[in-house]
Amino acid sequence: MHGKKRKREEEEEQTHSTMLPLEIKHDISKRINEIVNCLRTRCKLVQGVLQLEILRQIAMPKHSQSEPRKPRQTTSLAIEHKVYGRDTERDNIIELLTKVKSCDLGVLPLVGVGGVGKTTLARFVYHDQRIKDHFDLRMWVCVSDNFNEKNLTHEMLELVCKDRQGYKNIISFDVLQNTLWEEIRGKRFLLILDDMWEDGDRSGWDKLLAPLKCNEVSGCMVLATTRRASVARMIGTMSKVEVNGLDETVFWLLFKEWAFLGNEKLECNPTLQSIGKHIAKALKGNPLAARSVGALLNRSVSFDHWRKVQHKWKFLLKQDDDILAILKFSYEFLPVHLQHCFSYCSLFPKDHKFNGKKLVRAWISQNFVKCECRAERLEETGKQYLDNLVDWGFFEEVESHYVMHDLMHDLAEEVSSDECATVDGLESKKISPGLQHLSIITTAYDREEPCNFPREKFENILQSIGSLPKLRTLMFFGENSIMLLRSLNTICKESKRLRLLKIYVTAADISSTHNLFKPNHLRYLEFIVVPTNNMFGSRGIVNTSIPQALTKFYHLQVLDVSSKGNLAVPTGINNLINLRHLIAHEKVHSTIAGLGNLTSLQELIFKVQDADNFNIGQLRALNELVILGISQLENVKTKQEASSARMIDKEHLEELSLLWNDNSMNPEPTAEKSRDDVIEGLEPLQNLKHLQLIRYSGATSPTWLASRVTSLQVLHLENCRQWQIVQSLEMLPLLRKLKLIRMWNLMEVSIPSCLEELDLVNVPKLEKCVGTYGLDLTSGLRVLIVKDCPILNEFTFFHKDYFHAEQKSWFPSLNKLIVSRCHRIIAWKILPLEEMQALKKLELMDVPVVEELSVPSLEKLVLIQIPRLQSCRGITTAPSPHFSTSQGDQRELVCGLRELTINDCPSLLVQFPIPPSSLISFLSIKGLSSFPTMVINRRVLTIESNELSELDGRILLFHNLKGITWVNLRRCPNLTRISIDGFSQPHVMSKPVHDNSIPITSYPVLPSVNSLSIQSCGIAGGWLTLMLPHLQSLENLELRDCPQIKLLSTSQCTKIEAPNSLASAETTSARDKYLLQIPYNLLRSLKRLIIWACRDLEFSGVNEGFGGFTSLVELQIRDCPRLVPSLVSETKDNWLLPTSLQYLTISPLPANMQLFAPEGLTCLRVLSVFCSQYLKSVQLRSCTALECLQLLECQQLSVLEGLQHLSSLVSLDIEMNHELSMAWDHKLQEQEQGSNQVGLFPLSLVHLGITNLEGSVHSRFLCLPSITKLDLWNSPDLKSLQLGYCTALVDLAIDSCKSLASIEGFQSIRNLRSLRVGDSPSVYPCLQLMSQQQGASDIFSQLETLTVDDASVLSVPLCKHLTSLRVLGLHRDGYSGKSMVSLTEEQERALQLLTSLRQLNFYSYQNLEFLPANLRSLDSLEELHIVRCPRILRLPEMGLPPSLKYLLLCGCSEELCMQCRMAETEKLKMVLAAAESSKIDDRPLSESLDELKELLYDAEDVMDELDYYRLQQHIEDISVNQSIP
């Protein structure tokens, strides 16, 4: 069928022998006979009716009543390159908008019919310079008929507050509106509300405008566009402006632009002019109609075509003058294949931004696309279809996507109503059982919590639809549609013809979803995997797999499983020989064995491996590839082997990446020659557009690069370490992007003209980067990045003769400029960049000469290590005499900043408070002499300063911090007060507002802050008391080392009112100065409270302890000696703690508290008691939920009651002492004598950590058959250990047990996976001895992780048993102080025996000079960590293992770091710290045509099934042939 690649050319001689099962053969034969008989009958009827129809004109049907509209999406971006005939209206509207002086909000409605140009006129006004100059803030919101005041408020916030974190989690409409009011307060704004339909909800309109009306700035305006006069009457405060059609003269100019497209010769043709003007006159000046009908005429600018259009036009005029009928007239002239493509788009939501590639693939899946030329790809033809629909006015192209006007969407819905339907929201709609395409749209609920999704209502609608046996398309839109999966069974139960499925799923759903549809027809399958929340509430990595059943979907063309998760690939996926697009992580591509069978693939990331099913010859037949990446090319040894990929045959290839991953430092000459041969064998065709070479070690470029690949547009060279010169680039006339990265020996490069992007990164020997002077060199440049080119001296772009003299015209298009550690190219004290108006991102690092800097309005500014910089216009003190800038202009320069970094610029004085803009999402201010260290990152604000005494509006703009969730004040010893004025920002509204609008109250400036941390600060309790009421969302409070907080009150008797000024704070008494009073609201909301090192802190007044904190989950009190005693009631029989507690840490308990017996804490899961030297007894019987217990440094503890009965306890860390040891020894003796059968520990215990053990540990002490993890540490007097009963042990750690020399029962531990030994020298001889005993293999063969501090453990007898070892850690110098310089020969030999090793760590070997010489031979090693080994200067001469993927360096020499940078590769990552043309009135004919269409679909399905079985047998034959030796 259309566009299908059946590949019969290769198998025609085998087709006749295709053996089908008898029942299938009979069924297909019967269906074909039925179709043929029906076709004969219907064709005779159609022929007879058509003979009658030829005798008369077929009139166009009356336009039917359109269904309720769906949301339309418009944009403020200018789409029209020229606006015709609206200058007068524009000027009139601008005058109306700008002359208003009242403080009342003005609303000006624009009213006009659909397509008349209301949105275009609004855009025309919106972008006028007079509007920009008059208004401080402009907002554009598309309303459409889905009027929802909360959603519209959200959209306005998106425009004025780019940091979405500041409001996206806010549920309260009141808080949302207050947040909006904060953002617009004090600014004159213009709000465009485009495409309003709601005329009945007056209260909703008033609520929407409430925060806008509260802005007491004169001249604020709303401009609203609508088709309805009733809307204008409801909302307008001014007389409406009617937007009518263009006058005849201007309209003709617009119409002929579309009809003639600037062909002046044809424009002068009097006949065509006459016809065109006749048609244009009937369009009544409607611009959308001009575009549609003009594009229709332009399809063939000829007399015959225009007369035909004019002839049909006469019949249209007699019947209908509605705009939709005019658009439908243009649709009628579309070729049938474009009608199918256009009408199919009715399935998508009205606000949809179409991805061109995905849309074309969907068309292909439905056989809408057919190639007339065999050399052309279906995707290319489909893209031409889309371009035609754009040219003819049915789509608009906006940036990187496509949009459809709402009237065009209405048209698509009408003409596709027989075949397509949508379930959009809860709108009820009758759907025919013969429906072929269905979409289910839930996007209106995307901002709702899952619990608010109307699942049952949607399921009822889907149940009412029933089964759809002829369904070919099923698409879901909206993440919450994942909740409707169980309704799929109803829809898909009889849907055996499905060709496209787009669905939202969880990872767990994928394996079962394929059961809902049959393999015979499916061509397009898209799984949008929605991550689920893990146990910590965050979305983790998705782990899933492609179902094995999908390997039998032989017609599949698109498999889209793109996700951030880990995806496993089933065997046999190479059976999908029609697969054109596999959209998934590159790891998926690299795990497909026998990938050469997928001859239809168009994108591929291929990793060459030694195995036959992964060698480069697999690429031989993949001649449909458009994008290809080949890595691990070091596995290709000869030119002949490389040529087996047949790159020269891949005529469609546009993007090619060639990567070598071999990281040997000194390759042999023969290896270099081999690589030269290999790359010559990979020569592509000349139409290549994008080439990437990474780690190619040849000395020069391949011969074909500049001589034959002349269409190249992007050239990316990385780590081609032998290249010294890049030349002949002038032979690439189309080159637009040049990237040179880590070119270690490159000294000179010649830059061609017309580049758009130039990247020079880490090119340490580069001296010259030159090009021919002229605007051709710089006028198109958009991105310039120059980093780590320390000796670059001759650089044409920054030549002083051009840069200063012609700066305005030198970089007219430059958007991004980065200069870092290139000392010689910027040698001026004054760096004026303000003329670069296109510049949005500027990064300067280590530029030692510059003293003064001027910049235009930026989005990102980074200034690092510029020691002499004194002035940066817009963010510093008064500008230099060299720059003339007003303070208002300075503020405007920073108001658009999203990211600001100023580090280590000690001479720079910051003028404005920080952050300068509410749009800031990242901020870093460090190393400024007069300003505190301040960081905003991931919604956390951190402030640190030794000098800061008061935090107020001169330093911090509180109202620009609405997105902050955590405030962290640390190491500010002199900070004694925080401006309460800054925190509260009280709102005063002078005029009344609607009852349902914003209340007249003070509103907190930091509505999102849920965590406050104050560490080592001098702030007093009284100031903190005044601050806390303004943090109404606070859940976590942390106080550490705050000496001025001495009193704490948690009394519920008094509610604290939030003061509105500093004056009230200054009237407090001396006692109140130190008093921290927790406000009433926090007693109910605080979940986590940490108080550390507040040594003078104690409760004040009525002592209720923390019992009133009804939501408190975690409480930590450490080093607060006056606070802890108050936590016990006066009768000392109860602790004043809330029953909600789950985590409790107390350290230390005072001398008068020798008994610790918490009662009523039934929810307590974790208990930690530290450093309590007077504690003697702990009673835990009531803590029935306890899971983790820590008792450390409690030297007199002798009684631990209830431990054995804690059935939920899984982890215990305890420090032994003499009294406790005696008590437990006594219990063990009772056990042996039979008088006590209860063990020391509960059977639920899994992890046991013990310190300070002495002597010999009896076997019954560790009678723990369920324990899996045992930590023994800091027990210098422990001599022997018996582990015979710890049979389930998996993880054993022994640390600081210097006398431990005997471990008995080790042979009973058969599940040990991890062993760590440190500072326990006598353990190593014990291990060596065990390795030589019988059964040693059973002990050590399961070990996966071994961490030691003595390399002597690397002996041949031991290592030969470590057959499963994956991680080996050598940590710090040995126990005896010996310094290891290198491994011994025996240790090197032993290391080579670890064939399964994946990770090797060297930590803190201060004298280690050499890594293992044979490191490269560890061919399974993937990770290498080298930490604090400063004397290692180089890698081994043989290099690193080819399997290595991750290299971590920390605290190592610069020489080693440089070598490792050069060894980095793409693989090795280094870390440093449709419908018919018209409906015919004749009912019999219409019905017959519909039946014919259905028969054709049936015939197509039968052929599909027949083709499916042919493919199935073909694949089975291949499998049989491959299995024969």
Q: Which residue has the higher pLDDT, 969 or 988?
A: 969
Paired tokens of 412 = 């698509």
Q: Is the pLDDT of residue 1479 over 50?
A: no
Q: 852 has which bridge partners?
A: 830, 871
Give me the pLDDT at residue 938, please: 86
Give me the pLDDT at residue 1015, please: 95
Task: Write out the H or E segment, with its range, that includes residue 968.
Answer: strand 966-972
Model confidence band, residue 123 (pLDDT cutoffs 50, 70, 90): confident
Q: Residues, the chain, total? A: 1525
Give me the pLDDT at residue 1012, please: 95
Tell me which DSSP letter residue 531 carries. Answer: P
The 10s digit of each residue's pLDDT in 831-867 is 888 888 889 999 999 999 999 998 888 889 999 999 9
Chain centroid to CA 737: 26
Minimum mean pLDDT among 52-56, 342-346, 1007-1011, 1405-1409: which range?
Answer: 52-56
Helical pair 356-365 and 336-344, crossing angle rounded to 10 deg: 120
Report which of 484, 443, 416, 413 is spatially closest to residue 353, judged by C-alpha positions.
443
Q: In the predicted model, what is the mean pLDDT of residues 171-190? A: 80
Report which of 162, 227, 219, 161 is spatially closest to residue 194, judged by C-alpha positions.
227
Share of the chain above pLDDT 90, in %: 32
Give me the pLDDT at residue 136, please: 83
Average pLDDT, the chain: 80
Model confidence band, residue 8 (pLDDT cutoffs 50, 70, 90): very low
Query: Quick check: 1359 and 1391 in contact, CB under 8 A?
Result: yes
> Alpha helices of 612-720 — where are they, by DSSP H?
639-643, 669-680, 704-707
Minimum mean pLDDT among 786-800, 1099-1113, 1155-1169, 1288-1302: which range?
Answer: 1099-1113
Minimum mean pLDDT among 220-234, 586-600, 1482-1496: which range?
Answer: 1482-1496
Give me the pLDDT at residue 604, please: 94
Q: In the predicted model, what is the mean pLDDT of residues 482-499? A: 80
Q: Is the pLDDT of residue 307 over 60?
A: yes
Q: In the predicted model, what is the mean pLDDT of residues 1209-1216? A: 93
Give me the pLDDT at residue 789, please: 95
Q: Is the pLDDT of residue 665 over 70?
A: no
The 10s digit of each residue's pLDDT in 687-705 is 899 999 999 988 788 888 8
pTM above 0.85, yes or no: no
Query: How many C-beta atoms lie closer than 10 Å to residue 565's C-beta?
Result: 16
Model confidence band, residue 38 (pLDDT cutoffs 50, 70, 90): low
Question: Which residue type is seen at 682?
Answer: L
Give me the pLDDT at residue 1473, please: 63
Model confidence band, residue 888 (pLDDT cutoffs 50, 70, 90): very low
Q: Which residue has the higher pLDDT, 489 or 974?
A: 974
**C-alpha to C-alpha distance for 963 and 179, rounded to whole angstroms:** 10
Q: Is the pLDDT of residue 1465 over 50?
A: yes
- Tokens 């080790």 sit at which residue? 1306
Model confidence band, residue 263 (pLDDT cutoffs 50, 70, 90): low
Give me the pLDDT at residue 880, please: 43
Range among 856-865, 888-897, 1073-1082 rated most confident: 856-865
Minimum mean pLDDT among 445-454, 496-505, 814-823: which range?
Answer: 445-454
Q: 1186 has which bridge partners?
A: none
Q: In the predicted model, what is the mean pLDDT of residues 548-561? A: 90
Residues 6+ apart with CB under 8 A from 50: 1485
Strand, helix or coil for residue 412: helix
Is residue 189 classed exposed, middle or buried when 0-12, 13-18 and 19+ CB atoms within 10 A define those classes? buried
Strand, helix or coil for residue 254: helix
Minimum mean pLDDT among 35-39, 933-937, 1084-1088, 1261-1265: which range?
Answer: 35-39
Give me the pLDDT at residue 1399, please: 94
Model confidence band, residue 1522 (pLDDT cutoffs 50, 70, 90): low
Task: Assign 3-state DSSP to the chain and report helix, strand, coil percentages, each to 5.
Answer: 30, 20, 50
Query: How many C-beta atoms lie closer than 10 Å to residue 939's C-beta?
Result: 18
Q: 1183 has which bridge partners?
A: none
Give me the pLDDT at residue 61, please: 33
Report which of 284, 245, 295, 220 is spatially closest to residue 121, judged by C-alpha positions.
245
The 10s digit of each residue's pLDDT in 1012-1032 is 999 999 999 988 988 888 888
Give me the pLDDT at residue 618, please: 93
**C-alpha to C-alpha distance for 860 and 842, rounded to whole angstroms:** 6
Q: In the predicted model, what is the mean pLDDT of residues 707-716? A: 90
- Tokens 């060639």 sit at which residue? 658
Query: How many C-beta atoms lie closer than 10 Å to residue 1517's C-beta?
Result: 14
Query: How many C-beta atoms lie closer than 10 Å to residue 1098's C-beta?
Result: 16
**C-alpha to C-alpha distance for 1504 and 498, rounded to whole angstroms:** 12
Share of the chain above pLDDT 70, in %: 80
Give me the pLDDT at residue 393, please: 75
**C-alpha to C-alpha distance for 420 and 589, rounded to whole angstroms:** 35
Report which of 215, 207, 199, 234 is spatially closest to residue 107, judged by C-alpha positions.
234
Give me the pLDDT at residue 308, please: 67
Helical pair 323-332 and 406-415, crossing angle rounded to 10 deg: 60
Q: In the predicted model, what is the mean pLDDT of residues 1037-1062? A: 71
Query: Quick check: 153 and 951 in contact, CB under 8 A?
Result: no
Give me the pLDDT at residue 860, please: 93
**C-alpha to C-alpha distance for 87 and 73, rounded to whole angstroms:** 25
Q: Which residue has the higher pLDDT, 872 or 891?
A: 872
Q: Is the pLDDT of residue 319 over 60?
A: no
The 10s digit of each residue's pLDDT in 1367-1418 is 999 987 544 445 789 999 999 999 999 999 999 999 988 889 999 999 999 9
Model confidence band, residue 33 (pLDDT cutoffs 50, 70, 90): low
**C-alpha to C-alpha distance for 279 and 1063, rounded to whole angstroms:** 76
Give me the pLDDT at residue 1486, please: 55
